[in-house]
Amino acid sequence: MVNIKVLDKGSVELMSNTSDGDLLVVNAARCSFDKAHKNFAINDTKLINYLAKHKHLLPFRHPSATIRIVAPLFVLRQLGKHQVGFSWSEVSRRYIKSEPEFYIPEQWRKAAANVKQGSEGIVEDEHYTSMARYKMSIGGSLDDYHRLLDYGVCAEQARMVLPQSMYTTTVTTGTLLGWHHMYTQRTDPHTQLETQEYAKAIGKIMEELFPVSWEALCQQPS
């Protein structure tokens, strides 16, 4: 199975998928005429391109892929805004007390001057003051988390002190169309760069699984 590293400790990993891929798309489309093909043919590529171009999108809802995503909380919350066509299961720190891991960026970006969100350029941090403060904050939160557990506080409340940079894991099942919608939205230049990295990695997996359908969908204007 495909496993792509993202950021410093994150990843996207293919767990399972619809085995007949692009063929399922065209057979779903042909269902209206009570027809189906056993093998993918050249004409099937033309049909998929036609479906995508003219927004006949229902056939693209039938194939699916299940991906294991290891990502910081703030990234996952952006990816998780896409609910149509998806089912999400996530690690719950209500039940586990294993040592949390945190995303450590390689550099800090400046706030964008022309928009309320986003970033541009790099913050000069010659003395690593920003990084030191960030790591200090994480260390303090982690220490508080362990202290609360030692005091007998339940895990579901102690977790409240952990920062958004903490890594979590999900198993996410989505339709081909659902993954494409997430991909187009989260590779937009206005999306946070860390989230774009995950969307691009997911796109690589989907391109490999459904090469004809993925190309046809990506060629259409958003």
The model's pLDDT over 117-127, given as tens digits with 9 standing for 90+, comes to 778 778 887 65
User: What local confidence, expressed as pLDDT, does residue 32 receive?
Assistant: 86
For residue 134 the two structure tokens come to 């960030």
User: What local confidence, expressed as pLDDT, does residue 105 receive?
Assistant: 94
pLDDT digits (tens, 9 = 90+) for 32-84: 889 888 999 889 999 999 999 999 999 999 999 999 999 999 999 999 988 88
One-letter amino acid of 46: K
CB 156 within 8 A of CB 77: no
Measured over the CA atoms of residue 154, residue 158, residue 164 and residue 167, the dihedral's sign is negative
What is the Cα 195 distance to its own chain's centre?
Answer: 7
CB 165 within 8 A of CB 72: yes
User: Could you tell me the pTM of the whole model?
Assistant: 0.93
Give the mean model confidence (pLDDT) for residues 195-220.
97
Query: Rounded to the nearest 5 degrees, what angle is found at the Cα of 193, between the Cα atoms of 187 and 195?
Result: 65
Q: How confident is the model at residue 116 (pLDDT cuts 50, 70, 90)?
A: low
pLDDT digits (tens, 9 = 90+) for 157-181: 999 999 999 999 999 999 999 999 9
User: What local confidence, expressed as pLDDT, does residue 24 receive?
Assistant: 97
pLDDT reading at 206 higher than 70: yes
pLDDT digits (tens, 9 = 90+) for 123-156: 887 657 888 999 999 999 999 999 999 999 999 9
d(CA 74, CA 186): 13
Q: Which residues are designated catalytic?
A: 186
User: What local confidence, expressed as pLDDT, does residue 115 receive?
Assistant: 67
Continuous segment of H or E residues that includes residue 175: strand 167-175
Give the mean model confidence (pLDDT) for residues 17-36.
93
